[in-house]
Amino acid sequence: MQDRDGTVISPDILKPLVIRSLRRSNVRKKVAEYLFDISPSGSYTSEIAYNVKTTPTNVIGAIRGMNSRYRYDESLISLKIVEQVNSGKNKDIKLYKLTDFGKEIVESLLDNRRRF
């Protein structure tokens, strides 16, 4: 995996950062879990917001980062949990879906929750 600079980051190093980021934000965690539930399909911002019971602005912040409230470094896209997919004909509609790495992370979180 690579970050914005092109520096390669191993999943072993990234995993603790991802877990920390998801624990710090209920919105990030709910978005990741919702995308896990509908996987392999993707969804758009307002539909995700409706299903996780928050605003589209919070969803965009959790997925892409937004100023200081949702830092880019801890965004779901930056952490390689979610990927943006442009829908077929209409390039303006952005769909978001969970990556394979994201599926592993959410599965491990759900497994840990079931144990306790």
Q: Is the pLDDT of residue 2 over 50?
A: no
- The band of 1, judged by pLDDT with boundaries at 50, 70 and 90, is very low
> Which element (helix H / strand E) includes 94?
strand 94-98
Residue ranges of the domains in the chain?
Answer: 11-111
Tell me the per-residue pLDDT of 26-37, one tens digit each, with 9 for 90 and over.
999 999 999 999
Residue in this structure with the two tokens 């990556």, named with its chain if needed: 99
Q: What is the pTM of this model?
A: 0.83
Q: Does domain 11-111 have CATH number 1.10.10.10?
A: yes
pLDDT in the model for residue 5:
55
CA angle 26, 86, 29 (to 5 degrees): 10
HSE-up of residue 65 (Cα within 13 Å, Cβ side): 13
Tell me the per-residue pLDDT of 73-114, one tens digit each, with 9 for 90 and over.
889 998 899 999 976 676 778 899 999 999 999 988 888 776
